Amino acid sequence: MSRLLAGTLVGAILVAASSATAQISPGDAGIRTIDADETASVALKAFSRSGQEVIHGSERSIQLDQAFQAVGPLLGGPDTVEARWSEIRGDGVNVLQFEFRSRDGSALVPAGHMIGDEEAQFIGWEIGVSDPIEFLDFTGDITVTEYKIFVSENGGIDFTVYDLTSSFLNPWEGMDMGRTLPLRTPGGPVEYNLMIVEYEYEYTIPAPASLTLLSGLGLAGLRRRRRG
């Protein structure tokens, strides 16, 4: 475990604080690459040097493009962890955003939180581990071109951005695990209450004739088969 945590941020670029805005606008009504009723599993975790825990009890599956959904009590309550994910559609390049927050603004992992007899030192995320993201068949290989994590201590007024693009392995099979961010910086401990995991990715654009067929048949039955 310590080897994984120590190597997690190799190649990461810490970007100056900014707003979390994808380069593709939600107003870009591009090509859907994921079925509208698709679900994916999500989990937020706290890590000590030798232990870990899901901070909302257990991994949960949530549906695409819905409002924030409760995924479990935050460290046993009374606050609740909420999550949602959305596909921002462009033309050949789309963005997936997974958002996690505490409903009442509590720290997702408060300073001094203990896992057993060790203090939590990292926060991590797992996406699609038990319920992977299924892309539609026509998309071909999914290539992630930007992979960024936005974290905020004030509900999204300000963000710190970690660019992990250089560490991402393509093609993407709709799963992401084994990543963490430190809960202590040179300025002291941090208490995030909002996290956004963002993937910008390229896919194969269907030929015009294929687009006509897709619009006529709908997207049902066109999901990619899960591997393994």
Under 8 Å between Cβ of 126 and 59: yes
Buried/exposed code over 119-153 (b: 16+ C-beta within 10 A; e: otherwise)? bbbbbbbbbbeebbbbbbebbeebebebbbbbbbb
The answer, as to whether pTM is greater than 0.75, is yes
Q: Containing domain of residue 50, as a range?
A: 2-17+27-217
Token representation of residue 104: 């009442």
**Residue 147 belongs to a domain:** yes
- For tokens 């999914």, name the residue: 142
**Residue 9: what pLDDT?**
46
**Residue 14: what pLDDT?**
59
**Residue 227 belongs to a domain:** no
**Residue 29: what pLDDT?**
60
**Residue 217: what pLDDT?**
45
**Residue 106 belongs to a domain:** yes
**Residue 12: what pLDDT?**
53
**Residue 27: what pLDDT?**
47
**Residue 196 belongs to a domain:** yes
**Residue 223 belongs to a domain:** no
**Residue 188 belongs to a domain:** yes
Count of domains in the chain? 1
**Residue 226 belongs to a domain:** no
**Residue 60 belongs to a domain:** yes
The conformational region for residue 211 under phi > 0 = left, psi -120 to 50 = alpha, else beta, is alpha
Under 8 Å between Cβ of 64 and 34: yes
Profile the chain (228 residues) by mean pLDDT over runs of 10 residues.
Answer: 34 50 52 94 97 98 97 96 96 93 98 96 98 94 97 97 96 96 94 98 73 49 48
